[in-house]
Homo-oligomer: A and B are copies of this chain.
Amino acid sequence: MRTPDSLEELIQAFRCLPGVGPKSATRMAYHLLQRDHAGATRLASALGEALGRIRHCARCNTFTESEVCGICASPRRDPSILCVVETPADLLVMEQTQSYGGLYFVLMGRLSPLDGIGPREIHLDRLLKRATDGLVKEVILATNFTVEGEATAHYVSEMLAGKGIRVSRIARGLPVGGEIEHVDAGTLAQALIERRPA
């Protein structure tokens, strides 16, 4: 073996990152050692810091450094609407729309029985307790429109049925600025089905 052990281990360690195969991992390791020792040091310590300090919000389950995250702690958010998302990244995108003023529940995943991810793993017991606390009037399901995201939305909607809460799903349809000519048939079909009064 020609690659020094600690370099080989660094390359292997980079492979835990999403979308990083053997070639990218090698490039990353070489880049840091050749040209960016400061960056490598910073990355190592940022990893340690984040691992030590980040935990899950006691109310919405997103990443936070405190007991309760900034959104859950804010008095300006409407506690009667609860938006269910798969990941903290999805929450971030929702916030960037600046058109949602309610609270969140972050599943930290989606139902995927084959991968051993069932209702418990995505904290549906906590979601049920939260949704039926008396304050929540509507639950908006904002899971992905993938097979697993749809199954998760369906499961949650069944779970909340008959509990006196309005359960809704974000709309499918054409993207803003989208042209009919270029949209896929499935999306267009859904946009037709889910048409609304003009």
Residues of A near any B CB (own CB < 8 A):
2-7, 9-10, 12-14, 16-19, 24, 26-34, 36-37, 39-54, 63-65, 69-71, 87-89, 92, 95, 108-109
Q: Could you say which residues of chain B place their CB within 8 Å of the CB of A3?
A: 63, 92
Option from B16, B28, B40 in Cβ contact (under 8 Å) with A18 = B28
Q: Could you say which residues of chain B place their CB within 8 Å of the CB of A42?
A: 13, 16
B50 touches A89 (CB 8 A): no
Q: Could you say which residues of chain B place their CB within 8 Å of the CB of A51?
A: 33, 37, 40-41, 44
With A4-B65, A30-B88, A71-B2 already in contact, the answer to whether A36 and B10 are too (CB < 8 A) is no
Q: Could you say which residues of chain B place their CB within 8 Å of the CB of A39?
A: 13, 16-17
Q: Could you say which residues of chain B place their CB within 8 Å of the CB of A69?
A: 2
B16 touches A50 (CB 8 A): no
With A10-B50, A34-B108 already in contact, the answer to whether A5 and B89 are too (CB < 8 A) is no
B16 touches A54 (CB 8 A): no
Docked complex Cα distance between A32 and B95 (Å): 22
Option from B4, B31, B71, B87 in Cβ contact (under 8 Å) with A17 = B31
